[in-house]
Amino acid sequence: MQKTIINPPTLARPRGFSHGVLVTGGQLLFLAGQTGSNAEGNIIDGDLVGQYEQVLRNLQTVVEAAGGTMQDITKINIFVRDRDDYLAHLKSLGQVHRSFFGDYYPATALFEISRFFQDDALIEIEGMAVVNPDSKA
């Protein structure tokens, strides 16, 4: 599987995301929306940053179960309850992001929404990955 980050110079320089990710080879994995819930399905106590870390841990579990890694995630949609809270924690969120993805940024969109299925959720992320479970690389 080969991935090429697509960031055309005629678009604004992306910070914290990639404009596009071109993939050849592999299998497409659709990632259901994950919240900051634990194995019992309960939202963990904590702020947006803590829930973001749990969300990424949940996504990692799914991707690894399919034979992939976090760097195989090519597209994510981030849904937050409070955009201003998200912006206020960008530095901390970036540190958590790098602990899971390194310096890799999938194609990303951010949406502020009014409610989640779970009332205590502050964030939910869905996405897609392209995995190559037969690869040992």
Contact predicate 128/75, CB 8 Å: yes
Residue 104 structure tokens = 């890799």
> What are the tens digits of pLDDT across the range 49-77?
999 999 999 999 999 999 999 999 999 99
pTM of the model: 0.88
Mean pLDDT for the chain overall: 93
According to DSSP, the residues that pair with 23 across neighbouring strands are 3
Give the amino acid at 39.
A
pLDDT per residue over 26-43, tens digit each?
Answer: 899 999 999 999 999 999
Q: How far apart are CA 113 and CA 67, in angstroms?
A: 32
> Are the CB atoms for 79 and 124 separated by under 8 Å?
yes
Residue type, 66: A
Q: Which CATH superfamily is domain 2-6+27-131 in?
A: RutC-like (3.30.1330.40)
Sign of the dihedral defined by the CA atoms of residues 95, 97, 102, 105, in that order: negative
Domain ranges of the chain: 2-6+27-131
